[in-house]
Amino acid sequence: MRAATFSPAPLRAMLAAAAIRNPTVNLADYTSYDALDLADLVRRKETTPQELLDLAFAAHDAVNPKINAVIETWREDAPAELAQMPARGEFRGVPFLVKDAVLHMQGRKCEMGSRLAAGLVAPEDSHLMARFRKAGLVAFGRTASPEMAYSCSTESVFRGATRNPWNPARTAGGSSGGAAAAVAAGIIPMAHANDGGGSTRIPAACCGLFGMKPSRGRVPIGPDADEGLNGLGVELAVSRSVRDSAALLDCVEGAEAGDPFVIERPKRPYLEEAATDPGALRVGLMIDPFGGGKTQGVVADAVMRVARDMEALGHRVEIADARLGVPWDDFILANARIWTVNLAGWIDALAAATGRTIDETTLEEHILACYRYGAATSAIEFASALALRNAVSRSLGDWFTRNDILMSPTIPTLPIELGWFAANSKGLDGLGWTALTFSVTPFTPAFNFTGLPAMSMPLAHDAASNLPIGAHFAAAFGREDLLFRLAGQLERAMPWRARKPGVWAGG
């Protein structure tokens, strides 16, 4: 009788099956790690991308019905997605979610939170999506956006309201509220977000996360566009740790062929900057917003405490004398013109692509009003808005030649109640809607207008309401390095990751 020939293949299959039945990482572990931690586990073969994806789906199933953050998942296509994963990548094997706005993923819907675009499928990856893939991220679903991403609360007729994991009666922010709620609730450690007036930083503040808006031109958005919203819109992510956002920006920064300009590349990786002491910085503190409004007492007190802690770290913090250089009403008008003219173009293109009419059956009342306002804006009025953008950029740019950081609250109140916008938006035109959104989020839009980098950090928390409070920091053009140095220092000095919301996938 011949001796049996040993083959390792059946043994490997048995071991793989046992690994699936007995996962090396449980859900509590999964939700405790940031994205770089998870990638490191994959790199050291202590878990597998499949196991992490299974955990992401389990986390989604546990919490998403309570918060409505994720509007679509692609379970049946997971094997194909994993098969396309590169052999290397900073985030190889880490589950990821993309926002239902601007970013294109080949073969996936991009509906802009709107009935007008329902079912519209992207024919190719955008440049940024290709870079996400190259980094090893495994996208398995889409997060909610308000219609046309033009709101600071993620509520839409098409997809319903996204709820804040800290208090489901409150907003998760917008327009990247679905992304922020998903990360805050533990579905994934980091998710794609974009920011045209605060849409990354506002949800980060509402949900207790880190959110960075890079400088204009730092992250490519092509090939379908050169600049989002004439330079107001910028892409990146929300995350639970500073280093995840830093490492992600390392993976995706830099121009593509055909981009309108090339910003100076960083001198060293942002991940290294996040671990570097920033030294003593000149910090201007602004408690009340540019427009003359007042910040809620609990928020003002919290940001003042953060400022005092920064002084203890060696920074020189003084009341800021930063100015927009133009009247607040003119600033709102210019933003309204830029936003609504772009919006009108998007809506016309979506209607042409879907064959649907532009009316009350396809657009929400306030977005339809914005469309009509943008369509009626003249070329001369639009050009004057761009000229005013230049004036604001010169004013704040000059301020940053004498100062390192402009600090403020991210939003002037605790997260507002869901339904507030619906109750207050009736009968508004495009200018009125812009003024309403800016009244709730007056600190963030100036940095989209000017293209300066800015970030929100969850450095404070209101015990009475159990809601996070974001502190906002901006720097001179191209100085993400400085922001990441400061962010890393503040994260170490005032850590936040031990705080967990009531809706939490980790149990």
In the residue annotation, 156 being an active-site residue is answered as no
In the residue annotation, 175 being an active-site residue is answered as yes
| Angstrom distance (rounded) from CA 367 to CA 114 | 10
Q: Could you tell me whether strands 316-319 and 405-409 are parallel, antiparallel, or unpaired per DSSP bridges?
A: unpaired
How many CB atoms sit inside 10 A of residue 365's CB? 15
Catalytic site residue from 175, 176, 215, 245: 175
Instruction: Give the H/E segment covering residue 9.
Output: helix 8-21
Q: Of 273, 253, 291, 63, which is closest to residue 166 (Cα–Cα)? A: 63
The strand ranges marked E within 296-403 are 316-319
Contact call for residues 260 and 226 (beta carbons, < 8 A): yes
| Angstrom distance (rounded) from CA 224 to CA 275 | 36
Output the CA angle 55-61-62, nearest 5 degrees: 90
| Angstrom distance (rounded) from CA 439 to CA 249 | 30
Phi and psi at residue 118, in whole multiples of 5°?
A: -55, 130
Output the CA angle 311-318-484, nearest 5 degrees: 60
Instruction: Identify the burial level of 348 via C-beta atoms within 10 angstroms of its C-beta, where 0-12 means exposed, 13-18 middle and 19 or more buried.
Output: middle
Q: Of 287, 327, 305, 328, which is closest to residue 411 (Cα–Cα)? A: 287
Q: Tell me the two tokens of residue 308.
A: 């005092």
Q: Where are the domains of the chain?
A: 26-493
- Specify the amino acid at residue 480: E
Q: Could you tell me whether strands 282-285 and 405-409 are parallel, antiparallel, or unpaired per DSSP bridges?
A: parallel
| Angstrom distance (rounded) from CA 195 to CA 371 | 20
Superfamily (CATH H level) for 26-493: Amidase signature (AS) domain (3.90.1300.10)
Q: Of 1, 186, 208, which is closest to residue 95 (Cα–Cα)? A: 186
Q: Of 194, 264, 282, which is closest to residue 236 (Cα–Cα)? A: 194
pLDDT value at residue 24: 83
How many CB atoms sit inside 10 A of residue 70's CB? 25
| Angstrom distance (rounded) from CA 480 to CA 452 | 9
CA torsion angle 152 155 159 161 (round to 10): 120
pLDDT value at residue 474: 99
| Angstrom distance (rounded) from CA 507 to CA 502 | 9
Q: Tell me the two tokens of residue 213.
A: 């808006």
pTM for the whole thing?
A: 0.95
pLDDT value at residue 22: 53
The strand ranges marked E within 77-206 are 95-99, 138-143, 155-156, 160-161, 163-164, 167-171, 190-195
pLDDT value at residue 507: 86
Q: Of 38, 88, 98, 93, which is closest to residue 241 (Cα–Cα)? A: 38
What lies within 8 Å, CB to CB, of 19 at 6+ separation is 48, 51
What lies within 8 Å, CB to CB, of 122 at 6+ separation is 104, 105, 106, 107, 108, 109, 110
Catalytic site residue from 114, 151, 199, 239: 199
| Angstrom distance (rounded) from CA 340 to CA 331 | 14
Q: Could you tell me whether strands 234-239 and 190-195 are parallel, antiparallel, or unpaired per DSSP bridges?
A: antiparallel
In the residue annotation, 456 being an active-site residue is answered as no
Phi and psi at residue 284, in whole multiples of 5°?
A: -95, 130
Using DSSP, state whether 142 is helix, strand or coil: strand
Contact call for residues 363 and 147 (beta carbons, < 8 A): yes
Strand partners, 316: 282
Q: Tell me the two tokens of residue 487.
A: 């962010």
One pLDDT digit (tens) per residue for the chain, 507 residues: 333 333 444 434 333 444 444 568 999 999 999 999 999 999 999 999 999 999 999 999 999 999 999 999 999 999 999 999 999 999 999 999 999 999 999 999 999 999 999 999 999 999 999 999 999 999 999 999 999 999 999 999 999 999 999 999 999 999 999 999 999 999 999 999 999 999 999 999 999 999 999 999 999 999 999 999 999 999 999 999 999 999 999 999 999 999 998 999 999 999 999 999 999 999 999 999 998 899 999 999 999 999 999 999 999 999 999 999 999 999 999 999 999 999 999 999 999 999 999 999 999 999 999 999 999 999 999 999 999 999 999 999 999 999 999 999 999 999 999 999 999 999 999 999 999 999 999 999 999 999 999 999 999 999 999 999 999 999 999 999 999 999 999 999 999 999 999 999 998
Helix, strand, coil share (%) of the chain residues, nearest 5: 45, 15, 40
